[in-house]
Amino acid sequence: MSSSDLNTGNLQQCYENINGSCTRTPRLFTEQTLLYIIFTFVDVLCVTGNLMVIISVSYFKQLHSSSHLLVLSLAFADFLLGLLVLPFNIIRFIESCWYFGEEFCRLHTCIDGMCCLASIFHLCFISIDRYYAVSDPLTYPIKFTASVTGFFIGIGWLLPVSHSLTLVYSNANNHGNDDFIAALPCKGSCQLMFTKLWVLLNMLIFLIPFIVMLGMYSKVFIIAKKQARMIESAACKTVSVEQYNNQVAKRERKAAKTLGIAVGAFAICWFPYFVDSMINTLFSVITPQAVSYTFLWIAYLNSALNPLIYAFFYPWFRETLKLILTCKILKSDYSDIDLFND
pLDDT, tens digit, 9 for 90 and up, residues 265-302: 888 998 898 888 878 777 777 788 778 888 989 999 99
At residue 75's C-alpha, the angle toward residues 73 and 76, to 5°, is: 65
In one-letter notation, the amino acid at residue 279 is I
Is 293 part of any domain?
yes
Q: pLDDT digits over 311-328, tens only?
A: 667 778 888 988 999 998
Is 320 part of any domain?
yes
Instruction: Give the chain's domain count.
Output: 1
**Domain containing 226: what range?**
3-331
Q: What is the pLDDT of residue 37?
A: 96
The whole-angstrom separation of Cα 307 and Cα 50 is: 6
Q: What is the pLDDT of residue 77?
A: 96
Is 187 part of any domain?
yes
Is 336 part of any domain?
no
On whether the CB atoms of residues 168 and 114 are closer than 8 A, the answer is no
Average pLDDT, the chain: 81
Q: pLDDT digits over 110-145, tens only?
A: 999 999 999 999 999 988 888 888 788 888 888 888
pLDDT band at 223 (very low <50, low <70, confident <90, very high): confident
Is 92 part of any domain?
yes
Is 341 part of any domain?
no
pTM for this predicted structure: 0.84
CATH number at residue 97: 1.20.1070.10
Q: pLDDT over 70 for what percent of the chain?
A: 80
User: DSSP readout, 81-139?
Assistant: IIIIIHHHHHHHHHHSS--S-HHHHHHHHHHHHHHHHHHHHHHHHHHHHHHHHHH-TTT
Q: pLDDT digits over 181-210, tens only?
A: 444 546 767 877 667 777 788 888 888 998
Is 25 part of any domain?
yes
